[in-house]
């Protein structure tokens, strides 16, 4: 082919903040979901979808005991665009969260935005409220990585106020001071229960931010893991009381439906209207909508609650068994989620929390044993920590067995690691968002 003449220069054409992005990396790039690995890295529901399925995992009109309602995916209707408003789905989400534990007021579909996972809501809020290159969001590390990724995509800067140790609660005086002095902060993202902390935030603390005397911005409460917390913990219905509150939720975690990509943001109708106006019109596909509506039906909800209870049982078991393993350090954070944050120590007795050990445990577990967890040692306040998703009973059996062996071997070989190489591996293991 004759050489083509063109002045095109991608590096000067694309937005600089976008050019600086790294392609999304997830642990599944390295450790496949092909049935050979135990995946305790992404806080998914290890038991399965919260749907009444038959023994082969198929949708059927005859769910277990003939009890489940049919899930009737309308394949013949797939030539048509989906409903852009999703009122029935929104009403089902309201029915779930109208507990009247926090207010006598009632959520209605006009309090809702539904999106492609709660990741869409995180991004939509940034686009709606932050002027690129000018405004900021406030985050409280250690926290969910997508807030900062989405901020970078939108050319929005971060103000950081770390969570307080121990317990990973909000530092209210520091947050209030940051909001008082910087009017360019438009959104404050709080995660409750936190990722990777597993700790539920105090309602009273959230109230103090909502009542800030001068800050004109929005409190975003990410409740992705709320169904693993005690019943009544969700503050979703509080959006009927506060015009400056957004509560995000997802069907990816307790509902076990990460594959359908359905997230929701409960908020005041005025904010919901803005989010619904800026979204792509047909963001929720027909199959997703039908599966989500089914999952919120009482018969299927029963399965979700059963699966959730199984996970909570295994969570309690891990909390009891892990401290007995030599080299496992303190349990940090809270236990209101489907994962636990534990320190790894550099010696079986009297050891200190160590990133070197935690990284070696992470790598040996994944590469030699096929058990994939998350290295979180580079996160604020998480020195030497692994975040471990609670698995099924069999998975927890395997995990407890393997981590004991792996730690023993690492302690025997301690002191043989090259520091430069160690830094590179830590960076690589930290570059995963979930």
Sign for the pseudo-dihedral over CA of 32, 33, 36, 40: positive
Binding residue for ligand PLP, selected from 68, 109, 117, 391, defined by CB under 6 A: 117
The number of residues in the chain equals 434
- Region near ligand PLP per CB under 6 A, out of 48-56, 115-123, 234-242, 350-358: 115-123
Query: 231 with 254: CB under 8 angstroms?
Result: no
DSSP strand E in 251-379: where?
Answer: 263-267, 328-332, 339-344, 371-372, 374-375
Does position 192 interact with ligand PLP (CB under 6 A)? The reply is no
Binding residue for ligand PLP, selected from 234, 252, 314, 354, defined by CB under 6 A: 252
In the complex with ligand PLP, the residue whose CB is nearer, 43 or 289, is 43
Q: Does residue 166 have a cis peptide bond before it, meaning omega lies within 30 degrees of 0?
A: yes
In the complex with ligand PLP, the residue whose CB is nearer, 41 or 346, is 41
Distance CA 245, CA 272 (A): 11
Minimum CB separation of residue 117 from ligand PLP in Å reads 2
Distance CA 44, CA 161 (A): 28
Does position 49 interact with ligand PLP (CB under 6 A)? The reply is no
In the complex with ligand PLP, the residue whose CB is nearer, 118 or 276, is 118
- Region near ligand PLP per CB under 6 A, out of 91-99, 112-120, 297-305, 342-350: 112-120
Q: Which long-range contacts (CB under 8 A, 24 or more apart) does 100-105 make?
A: 100/237, 101/232, 101/237, 102/203, 102/235, 102/237, 102/238, 102/241, 103/237, 103/238, 103/240, 103/241, 105/237, 105/240, 105/241
In the complex with ligand PLP, the residue whose CB is nearer, 138 or 410, is 138
Does position 43 interact with ligand PLP (CB under 6 A)? The reply is yes
Q: Tell me the two tokens of residue 128.
A: 């709606």
In the complex with ligand PLP, the residue whose CB is nearer, 252 or 357, is 252
Distance CA 290, CA 89 (A): 8
Does position 263 interact with ligand PLP (CB under 6 A)? The reply is yes
Minimum CB separation of residue 248 from ligand PLP in Å reads 7
Does position 355 interact with ligand PLP (CB under 6 A)? The reply is no
Which residues contact ligand PLP (rule: CB under 6 A)?
43, 117-119, 144, 191, 195, 222, 224, 250, 252, 258, 263, 434
């Amino acid at each position: 082919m004759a050489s083509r003449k063109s002045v095109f220069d991608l590096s000067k054409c694309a937005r600089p903040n976008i050019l600086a992005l790294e392609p999304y990396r997830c642990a599944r790039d390295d450790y496949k979901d092909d049935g050979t690995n135990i995946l305790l890295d992404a806080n998914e529901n290890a038991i399965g979808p919260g749907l009444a399925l038959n023994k082969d995992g198929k949708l059927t009109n005859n769910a277990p005991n003939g009890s489940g309602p049919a899930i009737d995916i309308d394949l013949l209707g797939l030539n048509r665009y989906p409903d852009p408003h999703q009122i029935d789905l929104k009403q089902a989400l309201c029915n779930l969260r109208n507990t009247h534990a926090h207010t006598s007021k009632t959520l209605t579909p006009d309090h809702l935005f539904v999106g492609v996972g709660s990741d869409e809501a995180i991004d939509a809020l940034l686009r709606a409220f932050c002027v690129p290159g000018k405004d900021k969001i406030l985050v409280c590390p250690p926290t969910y990585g997508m807030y900062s990724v989405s901020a970078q995509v939108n050319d929005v800067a971060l103000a950081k106020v770390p969570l307080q140790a121990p317990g990973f609660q909000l530092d209210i005086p520091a947050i209030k001071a940051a909001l008082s002095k910087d009017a360019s902060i438009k959104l404050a993202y709080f995660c409750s229960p936190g990722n990777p902390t597993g700790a539920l935030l105090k309602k009273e603390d959230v109230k103090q931010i909502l009542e800030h005397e001068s800050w004109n911005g929005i409190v975003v409460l990410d409740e992705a893991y709320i169904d693993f917390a005690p019943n009544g913990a969700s503050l979703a219905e509080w959006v009927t009381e506060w015009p400056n509150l957004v509560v995000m939720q997802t069907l990816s975690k307790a509902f076990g439906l990460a594959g359908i990509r359905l997230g929701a943001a409960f908020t005041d109708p005025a904010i919901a209207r803005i989010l619904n106006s800026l979204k792509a019109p047909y963001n929720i596909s027909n199959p997703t909508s039908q599966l989500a509506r089914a999952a919120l039906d009482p018969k299927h909800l029963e399965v979700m609650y059963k699966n959730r209870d199984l996970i909570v049982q295994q969570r309690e078991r891990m909390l009891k068994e892990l401290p007995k393993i030599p080299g496992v350090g303190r349990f940090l954070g809270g236990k209101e989620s489907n994962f636990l944050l534990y320190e790894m120590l550099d010696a079986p007795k009297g050891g200190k929390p160590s990133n070197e050990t935690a990284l070696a445990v992470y790598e040996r577990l994944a590469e030699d044993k096929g058990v994939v967890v998350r290295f979180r040692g580079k996160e604020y306040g998480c020195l030497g920590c692994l975040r471990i998703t609670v698995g099924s009973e069999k998975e927890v059996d395997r995990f407890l067995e393997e981590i004991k062996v792996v730690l023993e071997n690492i302690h025997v070989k301690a002191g043989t690691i090259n520091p430069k190489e160690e830094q590179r591996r830590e960076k690589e293991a930290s570059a995963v968002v979930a």
